Structure 1
Amino acid sequence: MLEFGKVYDVTKRSSFTSVRRWMDEVRRYTTPNVAVVLIGNKCDMADHEIKPEETDALMDSYPEIFAFIETSAKENHKVEEPFLRLAKVLV
Protein backbone atom coordinates (compact mmCIF):
# COMPACT_ATOMS: atom_id res chain seq x y z
CA MET A 1 0.00 0.00 0.00
CA LEU A 2 1.16 3.51 -0.81
CA GLU A 3 0.42 6.29 1.64
CA PHE A 4 0.50 10.04 1.16
CA GLY A 5 -0.27 13.17 3.07
CA LYS A 6 -1.44 16.10 0.93
CA VAL A 7 -1.16 19.52 2.54
CA TYR A 8 -3.02 22.59 1.36
CA ASP A 9 -3.36 26.11 2.76
CA VAL A 10 -6.88 26.75 4.12
CA THR A 11 -6.42 30.48 3.43
CA LYS A 12 -5.75 30.05 -0.32
CA ARG A 13 -8.37 28.67 -2.68
CA SER A 14 -5.73 27.95 -5.33
CA SER A 15 -3.98 25.63 -2.89
CA PHE A 16 -7.19 23.67 -2.32
CA THR A 17 -7.97 23.59 -6.04
CA SER A 18 -4.60 22.00 -6.73
CA VAL A 19 -5.57 18.99 -4.60
CA ARG A 20 -7.83 17.69 -7.39
CA ARG A 21 -5.02 17.88 -9.93
CA TRP A 22 -2.66 16.17 -7.51
CA MET A 23 -5.17 13.40 -6.79
CA ASP A 24 -5.68 12.84 -10.51
CA GLU A 25 -1.91 12.39 -10.83
CA VAL A 26 -1.91 9.95 -7.91
CA ARG A 27 -4.59 7.92 -9.67
CA ARG A 28 -2.74 8.03 -12.96
CA TYR A 29 0.70 7.01 -11.70
CA THR A 30 0.18 4.80 -8.65
CA THR A 31 -1.47 1.52 -7.79
CA PRO A 32 -5.15 1.35 -6.81
CA ASN A 33 -4.15 0.57 -3.24
CA VAL A 34 -3.47 4.14 -2.06
CA ALA A 35 -4.32 5.90 1.21
CA VAL A 36 -4.27 9.70 1.43
CA VAL A 37 -4.67 11.99 4.42
CA LEU A 38 -5.82 15.47 3.42
CA ILE A 39 -4.23 18.13 5.62
CA GLY A 40 -5.61 21.66 5.80
CA ASN A 41 -2.82 23.77 7.25
CA LYS A 42 -3.00 27.25 8.81
CA CYS A 43 -6.20 26.49 10.73
CA ASP A 44 -5.08 29.15 13.23
CA MET A 45 -5.79 31.84 10.63
CA ALA A 46 -9.20 33.55 10.58
CA ASP A 47 -9.48 33.97 6.82
CA HIS A 48 -10.40 30.42 5.73
CA GLU A 49 -11.43 30.30 2.09
CA ILE A 50 -12.60 26.68 2.06
CA LYS A 51 -15.99 25.64 3.44
CA PRO A 52 -16.43 22.26 5.17
CA GLU A 53 -18.90 21.20 2.44
CA GLU A 54 -16.19 21.68 -0.16
CA THR A 55 -13.82 19.42 1.72
CA ASP A 56 -16.58 16.82 2.12
CA ALA A 57 -17.31 16.93 -1.62
CA LEU A 58 -13.63 16.49 -2.44
CA MET A 59 -13.39 13.48 -0.16
CA ASP A 60 -16.52 12.00 -1.77
CA SER A 61 -14.87 12.37 -5.18
CA TYR A 62 -11.68 10.64 -4.07
CA PRO A 63 -12.26 7.61 -1.81
CA GLU A 64 -8.48 7.31 -1.51
CA ILE A 65 -8.70 10.25 0.90
CA PHE A 66 -9.60 8.43 4.08
CA ALA A 67 -9.10 11.28 6.55
CA PHE A 68 -9.10 15.06 6.75
CA ILE A 69 -7.23 16.91 9.48
CA GLU A 70 -6.84 20.65 10.01
CA THR A 71 -3.46 21.59 11.43
CA SER A 72 -1.43 24.63 12.36
CA ALA A 73 2.31 24.29 11.96
CA LYS A 74 2.71 27.71 13.56
CA GLU A 75 0.78 26.70 16.69
CA ASN A 76 1.96 23.05 16.58
CA HIS A 77 -1.72 22.01 16.52
CA LYS A 78 -2.36 18.42 15.39
CA VAL A 79 0.87 18.39 13.38
CA GLU A 80 1.59 14.77 14.33
CA GLU A 81 -1.98 13.55 13.75
CA PRO A 82 -1.68 12.89 9.98
CA PHE A 83 1.37 10.70 10.55
CA LEU A 84 -0.39 8.75 13.28
CA ARG A 85 -3.40 8.18 11.02
CA LEU A 86 -1.19 6.96 8.18
CA ALA A 87 0.69 4.65 10.55
CA LYS A 88 -2.60 3.06 11.66
CA VAL A 89 -3.38 2.17 8.04
CA LEU A 90 -0.16 0.17 7.84
CA VAL A 91 -0.90 -1.88 10.94
Structure 2
Amino acid sequence: MAAEYTLFVYLADRRIGTLTLDKNTNLLKLEYEPDWKLTGFPLSPALTLDNTHSPEVAYNYLDNALPEGEARQLLSEHLGVSEKTARHPIAE
Protein backbone atom coordinates (compact mmCIF):
# COMPACT_ATOMS: atom_id res chain seq x y z
CA MET A 1 0.00 0.00 0.00
CA ALA A 2 1.39 3.43 -0.98
CA ALA A 3 2.29 5.76 1.86
CA GLU A 4 1.54 8.87 -0.14
CA TYR A 5 -0.69 10.52 -2.70
CA THR A 6 0.98 12.19 -5.67
CA LEU A 7 -0.27 14.92 -7.99
CA PHE A 8 1.73 16.23 -10.94
CA VAL A 9 1.75 20.02 -11.24
CA TYR A 10 1.54 21.54 -14.72
CA LEU A 11 1.77 25.03 -16.12
CA ALA A 12 0.12 24.98 -19.54
CA ASP A 13 1.44 21.72 -21.07
CA ARG A 14 4.66 21.63 -19.06
CA ARG A 15 5.10 19.52 -15.95
CA ILE A 16 6.78 21.78 -13.41
CA GLY A 17 6.66 19.71 -10.26
CA THR A 18 5.15 17.03 -8.07
CA LEU A 19 2.92 17.56 -5.06
CA THR A 20 3.01 14.72 -2.55
CA LEU A 21 0.88 14.14 0.55
CA ASP A 22 2.34 11.72 3.06
CA LYS A 23 -0.66 9.72 4.34
CA ASN A 24 1.06 8.97 7.65
CA THR A 25 1.95 12.56 8.59
CA ASN A 26 -0.56 14.51 6.44
CA LEU A 27 2.31 16.75 5.33
CA LEU A 28 2.55 18.18 1.83
CA LYS A 29 5.71 18.41 -0.22
CA LEU A 30 6.06 20.33 -3.45
CA GLU A 31 9.11 19.43 -5.47
CA TYR A 32 9.92 21.24 -8.70
CA GLU A 33 11.13 19.32 -11.74
CA PRO A 34 14.89 19.68 -12.39
CA ASP A 35 14.40 21.42 -15.76
CA TRP A 36 11.85 23.83 -14.23
CA LYS A 37 14.37 24.72 -11.55
CA LEU A 38 16.81 25.74 -14.32
CA THR A 39 14.45 27.72 -16.56
CA GLY A 40 11.29 28.40 -14.56
CA PHE A 41 10.24 30.48 -11.60
CA PRO A 42 8.83 29.76 -8.13
CA LEU A 43 5.04 29.59 -7.88
CA SER A 44 5.36 31.93 -4.91
CA PRO A 45 8.31 33.67 -3.23
CA ALA A 46 7.90 31.24 -0.32
CA LEU A 47 7.93 28.15 -2.59
CA THR A 48 11.58 28.45 -3.53
CA LEU A 49 13.04 26.59 -6.48
CA ASP A 50 15.59 24.84 -4.24
CA ASN A 51 12.73 22.74 -2.76
CA THR A 52 13.66 23.68 0.82
CA HIS A 53 10.25 25.14 1.72
CA SER A 54 8.34 23.59 4.60
CA PRO A 55 5.17 21.52 4.29
CA GLU A 56 3.26 24.38 5.94
CA VAL A 57 4.32 26.76 3.17
CA ALA A 58 3.10 24.35 0.48
CA TYR A 59 -0.17 23.85 2.35
CA ASN A 60 -0.78 27.58 2.82
CA TYR A 61 -0.18 28.28 -0.87
CA LEU A 62 -2.64 25.59 -1.96
CA ASP A 63 -5.19 26.45 0.72
CA ASN A 64 -5.22 30.05 -0.46
CA ALA A 65 -5.80 28.86 -4.03
CA LEU A 66 -9.03 27.10 -3.00
CA PRO A 67 -12.35 28.93 -2.76
CA GLU A 68 -13.71 30.01 0.62
CA GLY A 69 -17.07 29.75 2.35
CA GLU A 70 -19.98 28.21 0.48
CA ALA A 71 -17.90 27.64 -2.66
CA ARG A 72 -15.46 25.50 -0.66
CA GLN A 73 -18.36 23.60 0.88
CA LEU A 74 -19.83 22.91 -2.58
CA LEU A 75 -16.44 21.82 -3.87
CA SER A 76 -15.95 19.40 -0.98
CA GLU A 77 -19.45 17.97 -1.49
CA HIS A 78 -18.79 17.57 -5.23
CA LEU A 79 -15.51 15.75 -4.53
CA GLY A 80 -17.08 13.64 -1.79
CA VAL A 81 -14.66 14.76 0.92
CA SER A 82 -15.25 16.40 4.24
CA GLU A 83 -14.84 20.17 4.33
CA LYS A 84 -12.64 19.45 7.36
CA THR A 85 -10.21 17.67 5.03
CA ALA A 86 -9.27 21.05 3.57
CA ARG A 87 -8.16 22.35 6.96
CA HIS A 88 -4.52 22.30 7.96
CA PRO A 89 -3.75 18.87 9.53
CA ILE A 90 -0.87 20.26 11.59
CA ALA A 91 -3.03 22.94 13.19
CA GLU A 92 -5.62 20.45 14.47
Sort the TM-score into its range (normalised by shorter chain).
under 0.3
Higher helix content, 1 or 2: 1
In our comparison, the structure showing a higher alpha carbon Rg is 2
Question: TM-score when scaled to structure 2?
Answer: 0.27
Higher relative contact order at CA 8 Å, sep ≥6: structure 1 or structure 2? 1
